[in-house]
Structure 1
Amino acid sequence: MTTYNKVDIKIVLLLCLVSISSLAEAFGRPAASAIVKPRQTIFNVLAFGAKPDGKTDSTNAFQAAWDATCKHPEPARLVIPGGEFLVRQVKFEGPCNNKSPIFIQLRGIVKASIDTSTFTEPEWITFEKIVGLNLNGGGTFDGQGPAVWAKHDCSAQAKCASRSVNLKFRNVTNAKIGRITSKDPKGFHMCINSCNNFRAKALEITAPGDSPNTDGIHVSNSNDVTIAKSVISTGDDCISIIQGVNRIKIADVVCGPGHGISVGSLGKYKDEKDVHDVLVKNCTLINTQNGVRIKTWPDSPPSAATNITFTNIKMENVTNPIIIDQNYCASAKSCRGNKASNVKISQVKFINIRGTTPTQCAVKMHCSPSFPCQNVQVANIDLKYVPVLPTNALSKAVSECANVKVAVAGFVIPAPCI
């Protein structure tokens, strides 16, 4: 009978492990010691009848593919391959049977119908009641807005139909959205509403600077939202944060053209929820109508916006680089008279903001006489006035304030209101 010592046994076990690992790698499978992820069942829209020709209506195929993905009890991936797919309104709705996140891989271009009579909801593509969503793939959602913008210009017409949002996320928890493009929506690009733990990065959001009301990312009634490493070029606010948003971080975003990064407008509706814990950092704004701003309606119901920080912001030819406007009025027909805003603004910081502006008044803080802004701080501001037309006047940028006491730290140009 052969006997083995402890050293022999260890060598044999080691050789066995190496052999298992080598065989696994040879067959393209992870070794026993690696973390094995569960396999995903693939649901390709082509298998449900979608046609990648950009002309055939693929709405029903998209809906059927989603329904199958959502109902599948095991890990699943919905694939939209290369090509162009024409779709009307689609709702990717849960709750789903899958216990793990659902993956949607968009490789091609999804184009919206330009026949707005088929739109029964104010959204084109909706993601709703989903727990665990990963959307990526490098593809594009094209709203084909130029075909309808002139027909639905609410600024020029007394009556106009609402324009649909490209992507609406409603009641979505634990989402990761990245490497997708939103192009030329009929209305807003993306709305995040009543979501929790929502992560969006590496987005490309694009529409002409004169496109009507094409907000980039509009966030409301949501908690723990991150928007990062994205480029937003549009015809309205690049990012707008309205009622009920708590703990949002915006980082490494390039904005322009557009209307800047805004908290607000707030106070438009009755019983709005407060906004708090907003951080905007390491962003660049280029040729925008505004820089970083807080805006509230006059004669508003009571609410509050607190703990808001804008830091490490670069401005290039930005009109109104720093602005608090508590007399905001979207258009002449929507103004509410001279009554003061009842939105309480407090704990606001503007730190390390630098760049150029074509407007001599570079810092404008018009707070409410009923509730003056509290605990507002500016630190290390360097904004240079560069007029559009050459002038011999040695004009410098200035600040303008009302109903606010500003705390100052470091160097501040233009000279602050104190």
Structure 2
Amino acid sequence: MSLQPGDIFLTLETGDATSQPEGYVLEITPTLTIRAQTATGIFYGTRTVLQLLKQNLVIPGGTASDWPAYPERSLMVDMGRKYFSVEWLEQHIRELAYLKYNYFHFHLSDNYGFRPESEHHPEIASPQHYTKAEIRSLIELAHKYHITVVPEIDMPGHMDTILAAHPELQLTGLGGKRRGGDIDLAKEESYQLMRDILEEYIPLFPGPFWHIGADEYIMQDDYERYPQLLAFACEHYGPDAVIKDTYLGFVNWANEIVKAHGKITRAWNDGLYGGSAVKLADDIIYEHWYRSGLEPQAIVDLNLYILNSNADYLYYVLGNNNWRARPDGIYESFEHHIFHGPLAIGAFHPRNLGAKLHVWCDNPVLETEEEVAWGIAAPLRSLAQKNWGHSHSRLAMLTLPKS
């Protein structure tokens, strides 16, 4: 093939950085060539070219080999508490791709909303929701931009919207006091409802993961208020079981449903510990946001995968200056191997998947979606650099000698 000055040539081949699944080699002479092993590598090479052109319409000559430091580079948006328009989500799929992110975590349910349309349980969907056609369209757009959508429907806590339509399943303690958001894991009907939801939505998302949430389900010091959970644990797991076994049994139960669909379960780390009679499944990805339970080193020592979701650096909570991801803090102080606590593992540990920025909408009216977009723009860029870059400089444009 004869290339002319100014031509752009994209080619799939192996060798050098192209041995990395997302890596590429960029060669700038009078022509521009991007070589990669995969279409994804080619795509990221084109993102680099766009970024270089953004800085200057003249790109210096030379060769660069480039690949990401971490396999997962992600954004989570709390669509459960705050409805974000389809157009906003589409805009951020393109934004994430430009910044070389490859995962978009849809937190689809929480205290104030259940956002996917439901054919099996229409009573649980919020007035502002996404049709399945809209979700499929978003997934298709994400796929085009080499982004995997990770869906989450939070269980067995944060189920306020679902339980508003099924109040008989809300966890109720001594004296008849209801616990907001928590479903009663001692009732078989609770599992039937949750199975219906999982079976309806897991097939809607073609990606390899399903996030079950599993965070903040009652607190240890509240256990004595719910004797039915202890009775359930003893009945199903033996006389030595404790209340925490009921919760851990739920996690294993949900994990089996997820695996039956050929997917991998992800969950927040804060409750994934303890118990007496139930051994937690050993194939769940821990998304570590808070110092609770197993320490990160213990997680990777069990040969489990972990994602850094450090709440001190990577939480953007609407209107809350105490939980406000800041670009300087991420760029100058955040490290992937240091988790909330601070708790550390070895740098570039093979079981450390990467890091994720989180948009939490505890008070959804405090910011418009436009203000959220503005607020996360700089933190997204800082984390993009930390997720992609290495501790040493690999990507250096080499100036060609003058002829």
Q: Provide the TM-score with structure 2 as the length reference.
A: 0.27
Larger radius of gyration: 1
Query: Which structure is higher in RCO with an 8 Å CA cutoff and minimum separation 6?
Result: 2
| Structure having the larger proportion of residues in helix | 2
| Structure having the larger proportion of residues in strand | 1
